[in-house]
Chain A
């Protein structure tokens, strides 16, 4: 759990982050959004003290971050950034092993962990262990960057626009992988982005920042249904909010018991995708399929109800 309490950062007369308080529950994903210059990156970098706060406090699992020397604190917190920052003169395995080495893990344990992470990110350990970053594609470099951040099994992972440099298809996959891995390890993630779609897709809660202030910190659906501020409404994009709401719910969550007819859709599909499928086929209902078996049905009326206010 991360508790941020009236955190501020001032450079001379300019206040970059202004009294931000928020709590990220253990094992959840908080996404900080805002335009550039909103202070979102500074807020993130104050969590691992790459930037020292001017006022306020950060506690991770109840411990004040100032109780530990900054560089020791950072070894327990994963950190992944845009442009990955892989060490060009180190192999993939050596890059991933950076923090475990600093922590003094023994070699067999480090090797096991490197291989485990490579497999998790769908990189064949045998082929990739000895490669150098420049030999990898952009998507692979980014995956190694995240793997490196997760190497020492940190309870907290900070990410600063980690997918910003990827093309849309690879970004999609990277987001999916991140969620899968986050659930598997139960990592608490704070991610900074300016991409609202990314925020809605990944976040348990979204923090909207502007001019260093936290405007709203809430579930994605709440941001759409009840934006606290015109800026939040603009950023969240209320014009097509019904469709955005639908994209936040999976077919599996919304399925009603009973056998359906019409097209089959996977349980992982969003209601938005199911709606699109129903419109396309001219059908009134779809059958939701999970693990190859029918798991319920979804009617057009039920989907439309989910997209309504209130």
Chain B
């Protein structure tokens, strides 16, 4: 079972690396999808460069939403911040329900074309899973454990750092992983407002009616999402073992 999983992982990673490094080698595979001698492999830029730019955007946006959402989640579960819970929840939910395309449309007039509208859209879109999981994680701390921590004389900060956060960590990490993976897909939309990313390949395919391009953009994005999800899950297990929550 484990061997099979590792074989699948390595195969996926190898395929992605090979395709991004020497995409032209895969031309015969995609040629049947093109018509009238159109290029079977995206040729308006480096696929590797686009993939890296795509990832950089997603990582930056997710990191920012993780920091904000975890901080906010901690704040609203403190006694002093409890009254802000409904308001924060509403705001974060708006971030999630507002379609990223709409966020892009609103952001462009404000910050111009390029990476920024995408970063803003992804940031807003990534808040909810982390925020809700942070709250759920912190609230999952058994009341008796919290009471014992108080009763033994841990200060509020000590209780948070030594007890509540370690116990909430599995859920928080899961929320971040979810945000990251969702954002890898969503980030393709950024190319409509001139952010560098794999969306470019898909849009180029749509404009020139080139199915091979569309498939390439989609497959690379999808493969990255699956591999990252898997890698993060593995990293989480290690981290949790290190802090011994698992």
Which residues from chain A contact B163 at a C-beta distance below 8 Å?
87
B138 to chain A minimum Cβ distance, whole angstroms, is 14
Whether A81 is near chain B, meaning CB under 8 Å from some CB there, is yes
Q: Is B112 an interface position by the 8 A CB rule?
A: no
Q: Is the CB of A89 within 8 A of B142?
A: no
Interchain CA distance A76-B142 in the complex, whole Å: 24
B145, A85: Cβ atoms closer than 8 Å: yes
Tell whether B155 is near chain A: CB-to-CB under 8 Å: yes
Which 10 pairs from chain A and chain B are nearest by CB?
A85-B148, A79-B151, A74-B153, A75-B153, A85-B144, A83-B144, A71-B153, A89-B245, A85-B145, A71-B155
Encode A57-90 as 1/0 by CB contact (under 8 A) with B. Answer: 0000000000000011111100101111111111
Partner of B151, one of A76, A81, A82, A86: A81
B147 in contact (CB, < 8 A): yes
Contact between B153 and A102, CB atoms less than 8 A apart: yes
B244 interface neighbour in A48, A89, A98, A145, Cβ under 8 Å: A89
B-chain residues with CB within 8 Å of residue A48 when the two chains form the complex: 151
Q: Which residues in B have their C-beta under 8 angstroms from that of A272?
A: none
CB nearest neighbor in B for A84: B144
A81 touches B144 (CB 8 A): yes
User: What residues of chain A lie closer than 8 Å to B150, measured between beta carbons?
Assistant: 50, 74
In the bound complex, do residue A89 and residue B144 qualify as a contact, i.e. CB atoms below 8 Å apart?
no
Instruction: Give Cα distance in the complex from A83 to B153, angstroms.
Output: 18
> Which single residue of chain A is at the shortest CB-CB distance from B145?
A85
Give the complex CA separation of A238 and B245 in angstroms.
51
What separation, in Å, do the CA atoms of A91 and B245 have in the docked complex?
Answer: 11
- B154 in the interface (beta carbon within 8 A): yes
Instruction: Kindly state whether residue B198 has any CB partner on chain A within 8 Å.
Output: no
Q: Is B114 interfacial (CB 8 A cutoff)? A: no
Task: Report the separation of the CA atoms of residues A300 and B150 in the bound assembly, to the nearest whole angstrom.
Answer: 52
B167, A88: Cβ atoms under 8 Å? yes
Pull 23 A–B residue pairs with CB atoms less than 8 Å apart, ordered by A.
Answer: A48-B151, A50-B150, A71-B154, A72-B153, A73-B153, A74-B151, A81-B144, A84-B148, A85-B146, A85-B149, A87-B145, A87-B148, A87-B162, A87-B163, A89-B167, A91-B244, A98-B152, A98-B154, A99-B152, A102-B152, A102-B154, A102-B158, A132-B244
Q: How far is the CA of A48 from the CA of B152 in the complex (A)?
A: 9
Residues on B lying within 8 angstroms of A by beta carbon are: 142, 144-155, 158, 162-163, 166-167, 243-245
Q: Is A148 in the interface zone, CB < 8 Å from B?
A: yes
Q: A18 CA to B146 CA in the complex, in Å?
A: 27
Given contacts A89-B167, A99-B153, contact A81 B148 (CB under 8 A): yes
Q: Which residues of A contact B (CB under 8 A)?
A: 48, 50, 71-76, 79, 81-91, 98-99, 102, 132, 145, 148-149, 158
CB distance from A300 to the nearest CB of B (A): 48
B170 shortest CB reach to chain A, Å: 10
List A contacts of B144 (CB < 8 A): 81-85
Minimal beta-carbon separation of B243 from chain A (angstroms): 7
Closest Cβ of chain B to A147, distance in Å, is 12
Q: Which residue of A lies closest to B158 (CB)?
A: A102
In the complex, what distance in Å separates the CA atom of A158 from the CA atom of B150?
A: 13
Assembly CA distance A91 to B166 (angstroms): 14
Which of A74, A86, A132 contacts B145, CB < 8 Å? A86
Q: Is the CB of A75 within 8 A of B152?
A: yes
Q: Are B152 and A74 in contact (CB under 8 A)?
A: yes
Which residues of A have CB within 8 Å of B166?
89
Question: Chain B nearest CB: distance from A102 CB in Å?
Answer: 6
Q: Which residues of A contact B244 (CB under 8 A)?
A: 89-91, 132
CA distance A53 to B204 in the complex (A): 71
Partner of A79, one of B145, B152, B155, B158: B152
Residues of A within 8 A of B151 (CB): 48, 50, 74, 79, 81, 85, 158
Q: Which residues from chain B contact A86 at a C-beta distance below 8 Å? A: 145, 148
Sample of 5 further A-B pairs with CB below 8 A, known A50-B151, A148-B152: A72-B153, A81-B144, A88-B167, A102-B154, A149-B152
**Complex: chain A residue closest to B167, CB-CB:** A89
A190 to chain B, nearest CB (A): 13
Query: A149: which B residues are within 8 A, CB to CB?
Result: 152
A75–B151 alpha-carbon span in the complex (Å): 8
Q: Assess the B147–A81 pair: CB atoms within 8 A.
A: yes
Kindly report which residue of chain B lies nearest to residue A73, judged by CB atoms.
B153
Residue of A nearest to B246 (CB): A89
Q: Which residue of B lies closest to A48 (CB)?
A: B151
In the assembled complex, the CB of A239 is this many whole angstroms from the nearest CB of chain B, namely: 36
Give the interface centre of A84, A89, A91 by most chain B CB atoms within 10 Å: A89
Complex Cα–Cα for A72 and B166 (A): 23
In the assembled complex, which residues on chain A have CB atoms less than 8 Å from the CB atom of B243?
Answer: 89
- Least distance between B137 CB and chain A CB atoms (Å): 13
- Which residues of B have CB within 8 Å of A81? 144, 147-148, 151
- Kindly name the residue among B145, B154, B158, B245 whose own CB sees the greatest number of chain A CB atoms within 10 A: B145
Give Cα distance in the complex from A75 to B153, angstroms.
5
Query: In the complex, A215→B211 CA distance in Å?
Result: 86
CB distance from B155 to the nearest CB of A (A): 5
